[in-house]
Structure 1
């Protein structure tokens, strides 16, 4: 993802909605807040080694929780294929239909799994594939920033790099917690700092800067600066490759945000 958008490509990001509960002695305890999981590239909703395992871990620790792991294709194989080639703007609409057709209630927690930037895509190929190849929609070229901003159909939009959509900002700031997990030995996401919204300093592809030094933050285009000051951003890190985490780590560091 060109990395600034931990929003969709992170290694692991949780967008936690807030909910108000009425605590009266004669009422039953409220049901757990529902959880929506949207898998990333090369994955599917129900892979027992990835999203299926995450779903089971959550259900094990939070009895009675409703978990909707979004299924993009009609089969596991089709879901994996669609994760590589489906236009992300069209996919957003598809996901909303799936979401609205589910019995889930609002508010919800949403967990998104995704990949990071690509390291060797030639500039002219961007125009050919940006509408049908997910990796191109995540591509942010720090050397050719003008091409990226002018022609990106997904990342530049959600990162507010062509203008500020106040609804994006308002909706993100409404979250109670935005949890970002950095896998320190990640071989999929480039740069790894993008898992915390960091990215390459403009004009080169070696030195990275943290979120707090980015224009996205200093101009507060998405509300991340205000959220940071309010303690709504949570930065977690662990040793290991892409999405390689133990049950013990997941239970200790992620489950508390879902309970």
Structure 2
């Protein structure tokens, strides 16, 4: 048995000449696999022989872009689950990097498609705890009142079942003024964040068993609203102005998702970097994320 174990370790190393686990990358909404090539290049700058699966949902980049918007989150996750199950190089596990919406989707992949297992998760400006706002509205209109009006109009329809399944971002729209409507009407976020009354113990087990979970937030992000969502913070319920950090939420104190376990064992890592949404800082990424967590 000992000899067999040694052989398996050697075969796994030879399977990927880098000696590092393969990486699955997932792009954001209204984007496609080609738009994520800079992330792939940054990974391969550090690990040249790395096996990377750069998610494309559909037969080409145009279809992939439309699917990022119009395919339900559940169907996107199911599609990618079939892809990774069909890749023998991922059989013993993989690491993951998700950008923007892709960060939320790829965590959903870990939780809903546990075989093959995800080992380390990196999310870059992800709407991890939901969004409640129109991207870049304030900078475009310079009117808080107008942005607030548009936000309330969207909130009035967000949990209509047809709208929930019409566009992917509706499935992580989280209204802090109508928490009950969110819990009952959300077709994705309320489930994968284990917010419903009946918790899914497998979700908590999967997240708490990650080797590392790296969360990156942009300091001036105006696309993910509130930007604290990228670190699992959100608005204090009942209003839409004051935010609270992850550690103050019931999700953390009652540990619905295993994030407290990760944090207390030194495996949850939160970084804030300068700039707005999609200001990637690849030199920083390679030194601070790729080398310590993905090599």
Q: What is the DSSP-based 3-state SS (H/G/I as helix, E as strand, rest coil) of the residue aligned with 2:214?
A: strand
What is the CA–CA distance in structure 1 between the aligned matches of 2:155 and 2:186, rounded to whole Å?
A: 14
What is the CA–CA distance in structure 1 between the aligned matches of 2:290 and 2:191, rounded to whole Å?
A: 31
Contact 2:33 2:55 in 1 (8 A): yes
Q: TM-score, normalised by structure 2?
A: 0.75
Q: Could you say which structure has the greater relative contact order, defined with CA pairs below 8 angstroms and 6 or more residues apart? A: 1
1:142 aligned residue: 176
Where in structure 2 are the equivalents of 1:33-48 lying within 5 Å?
Answer: 33-47=21-35
Q: Say which of 171, 187, 190 aligns to 1:156.
A: 190
Q: What is the DSSP-based 3-state SS (H/G/I as helix, E as strand, rest coil) of the residue aligned with 1:249?
A: helix
Q: CA deviation at 1:234?
A: 0.3
Q: Say which of 181, 200, 205 aligns to 2:216.
A: 181
Q: What is the DSSP-based 3-state SS (H/G/I as helix, E as strand, rest coil) of the residue aligned with 1:73?
A: coil
Contact 2:158 2:173 in 1 (8 A): no
2:20 aligned residue: 32
Q: CA deviation at 1:170?
A: 0.5
Contact 2:25 2:52 in 1 (8 A): yes
* Shift >4 Å, 4+ stretches: none
In the alignment of these two chains, the number of paired residues is 234
Q: TM-score, normalised by structure 1?
A: 0.85
2:109 aligned residue: none
Contact 1:118 1:135 in 2 (8 A): no
For structure 2, list consecutive stretches of 5 or more residues without a partner in the other structure.
14-18, 102-126, 134-150
Q: What is the DSSP-based 3-state SS (H/G/I as helix, E as strand, rest coil) of the residue aligned with 1:217?
A: helix
- CA pair 251-23 structure 1, distance change in 2 beyond 3 A: farther
Q: Say which of 30, 51, 55 aligns to 1:66.
A: 51
1:258 aligned residue: 294
What is the CA–CA distance in structure 2 between the aligned matches of 1:77 and 1:172, rounded to whole Å?
A: 32
Q: Say which of 194, 199, 207 aligns to 2:229.
A: 194
Q: What is the DSSP-based 3-state SS (H/G/I as helix, E as strand, rest coil) of the residue aligned with 1:104?
A: helix
> Are residue 122 (structure 1) and residue 174 (structure 2) matched?
no
What is the CA–CA distance in structure 1 between the aligned matches of 2:71 and 2:12, rounded to whole Å?
A: 41
Q: What is the DSSP-based 3-state SS (H/G/I as helix, E as strand, rest coil) of the residue aligned with 1:46?
A: helix
For structure 1, list consecutive stretches of 5 or more residues without a partner in the other structure.
1-21
Give deviations 1:103-148, integer Å, cap 9, x for gaps: 3222110111224314112323430310121111010000000100
1:14 aligned residue: none
Contact 2:220 2:275 in 1 (8 A): yes
> Are residue 111 (structure 1) and residue 97 (structure 2) matched?
yes
What is the CA–CA distance in structure 2 between the aligned matches of 1:170 and 1:181, rounded to whole Å?
A: 22
Q: CA deviation at 1:23?
A: 8.1
